[in-house]
Amino acid sequence: MEEQGHKRGRGIGFQLNAVIFIGVAVMVVVLISFVGYRAYEELLETGSRAQYNELEGRANLILSRYESIKQSTEDMRARVNKELEKPKDARSRDDLNEILREIVLANDNIEGVSVVFEPDAFDGQDAAHVGDELSDSSGRVTLYAARDDNDNVEFESEWGYDSASWYQKPKSSMKPTLTEAFYDEVDGEKTMLVSYSIPLIEDGKFIGVVDADLNLTPVQENFAKVSTPDNVYLLVDNTGNLVAHGMSPDSLMKNAFDLMKSPDEERKAAYGDAMYTETRVSPTSGKDMVYIYHALKFPGTDAVWSIFSSTEKSKFVGTAHDMVIFALILAVIGIVVLVIVLSLFVRRRLVVPIGDVSDTLARFADLDLDKDKGAKVREHQYRTDEIGSMVGSLARMAN
């Protein structure tokens, strides 16, 4: 009978190694992808939470200065109210001057203080004080006091109260008020301030305001000191205007949310009770940034500001990226070592024995039953697996 040709393909060892390699590679890729994703999310969450806690610490520094002027303003109100306990004709405008002088000198956080009364609400003598330096054109009490460069207290007549929020808001709400940030001139320089005002009430009727100004320049200086291009600290007031910007002082008093093109959800959540984060491409740097917001609530008022940071995403998740790369390198090394070990095992335990069995079967097919030619295959006859059984069967056939 004519022998049919047989096309020889890849050996069983190659096939087994290929299957093992592909299986292990797929398993490792899936595992590393899952671990990398989880590590990425965990690092982002952990980093955001740590940043939020840092923002809380910075918020507390601002609140401590606020509490300082709040306490001074409350002390000023108490002392002015003590003056108001006197009959109108016994009240002294000079006593008001002394009260303001002592309040200013007692607190370095205060930029200036003021007391403004409604017409004739203090002593009923406005007409007698028309033309006074420390009164307005109608003679009403409009007193402002501030510290000069030599730590002396200077007095002047307050102005702008008819439209200023520090006067009009407590007048309409009858409650203490923290204003939005605003610019004013201090020692000849344009300076950002915020005012804390308390209404003066007599017999249930609004009669005036005591007010203290807080200089926000130290906040800007602190933010500029701790900010870096990849981690910027910012502060906005209740209107969204920038009060402090660690990298761009030229942006102050511009609306931060308009600059960032923030959606309405972000504008609202920035002032919420819980941590709020937003990830997007920065309109200035073009990099992926994580924005983390911490509300800044001022006790005793309805005012809520927001302190937040803009941090490059890689600062949080860079470790996860490095970890995945390192894991991939280890995985490749592990796969190569595993394939080599498995190749040696498969060759020794399968490929060589099956090759010997195949050669013996080929001889038997040619009716060559010479036992002396089967020395190599007989080396496997003592194995207890399927190879040993096959060799035993061939030995019986040869015998």
pLDDT at 369 over 80: no
Question: In the CATH scheme, what is the homologous superfamily, with its name and number, of domain 40-61+219-317?
Answer: PAS domain (3.30.450.20)
Using DSSP, state whether 348 is helix, strand or coil.
helix
Angstrom distance (rounded) from CA 258 to CA 241: 9
Q: Please write the tens of the pLDDT for every residue from 42-77.
A: 777 888 888 999 999 999 999 999 999 999 999 999
Q: Which of 181-185, 330-334, 338-342 has the highest mean pLDDT?
A: 181-185
Query: Residues 343, 13: contact at Cβ < 8 Å?
Result: yes
What one-character DSSP code corresponds to residue 128? G
What's the whole-number mean pLDDT along residues 179-186? 91
DSSP 3-state assignment of 215?
Answer: strand
Q: Give, for 169, the enclosing helix (H) or strand (E).
A: helix 165-173
For residue 193, pLDDT beyond 90: yes
3 state SS for 122-166: CCCCHHHHCCCCCECCCCCEEEEEEECCCCCEEEEECCCCCCCHH
The rounded distance, in Å, linking the Cα atoms of 306 and 269 is: 10
- The residues, ordered by sequence, that sit 6+ positions from 276 with a Cβ below 8 Å of its Cβ are 266, 269, 270, 292, 293
What is the rounded average pLDDT for all residues in the chain?
84
Q: Where in the chain is the domain with CATH 3.30.450.20?
A: 40-61+219-317, 86-215
Looking at the predicted structure, is the pLDDT value of residue 108 above 80?
A: yes
What's the rounded mean pLDDT across residues 159-185? 92
Model pLDDT, residue 3: 47
pLDDT tens readout for residues 202-233: 999 999 999 999 999 999 999 999 999 999 99
How confident is the model over 186-209, as a mean pLDDT?
94
Asked if 159 and 137 count as a contact pair (C-beta separation under 8 A), the reply is: no
pTM of this structure: 0.73
Q: Are the C-beta atoms of residues 103 and 154 closer than 8 Å to each other?
A: no
Closest to 181 measured CA to CA, from 114, 229, 111: 111
Rounded Cα distance between 292 and 239, Å, is: 18
297 near 304, Cβ under 8 Å? Answer: yes
Pairing of strands 304-312, 231-236: antiparallel
- Residue 183: which region, alpha, beta or left (left: phi > 0; alpha: psi -120 to 50)? beta
What confidence category does residue 386 fall into, taking pLDDT thresholds of 50, 70 and 90? low
Residue 178: per-residue pLDDT: 97
CATH top-level class for 86-215?
Answer: alpha beta
